[in-house]
Structure 1
Amino acid sequence: MLSQEQLGFASGLDRTFVSQVERARVNVSLDNIERISIALDVPASVLLARPSRV
């Protein structure tokens, strides 16, 4: 598990921006989605998928 600071560093994004993304406070560009997906080593489609209900 990565902290917001670690994810920000790995993706080249500011930690405060990562925090805003996590809390759905900002709209994220496809470029930034790609940067985050690369940093997390997951396909971008995983980040765009609707959460499944439990």
Structure 2
Amino acid sequence: MAFNVRLRRVEKQRSQEQLGFAAGLGRTFISQVERAKINVSLDNIEKIATSLDVSASDLLKWPAL
């Protein structure tokens, strides 16, 4: 999930701060999510997905490298 959040955020040309603000979460929280330092609740996954205009399942998929 961490890779997918960062990938989608960079594709949308948003900073961690912008994504955090749009999702109602903090920049440090987004940073921790992207570095896989914390477990994320389903509610917060949905907030992040909505802010990135993707489905929550897109964030949870195994990254295609």
TM range (shorter): over 0.9
Count of residue pairs brought into register by the alignment? 53
Tell me the residue number matched to 2:24: 12
Higher Cα Rg, which structure: 1
Q: Give the TM-score normalised by structure 2.
A: 0.79
Q: Which runs of 4+ in 1 moved over 2 A?
A: none
Structure 1 unaligned segments of length 5 or more: list them. Answer: none
The structure with higher relative contact order (CA 8 Å, sep 6+) is 2
Specify which structure has the higher proportion of helix.
Answer: 2
Q: Give the TM-score normalised by structure 1.
A: 0.95
Structure 2 unaligned segments of length 5 or more: list them. Answer: 1-12
Query: Residue by residue, what CA displacement relative to the aligned partner does 1:5-54 show, whole Å, maximum 9, x if unpaired?
Result: 0000000001000000000000000000000000000010000000113x
Identity fraction in percent = 68
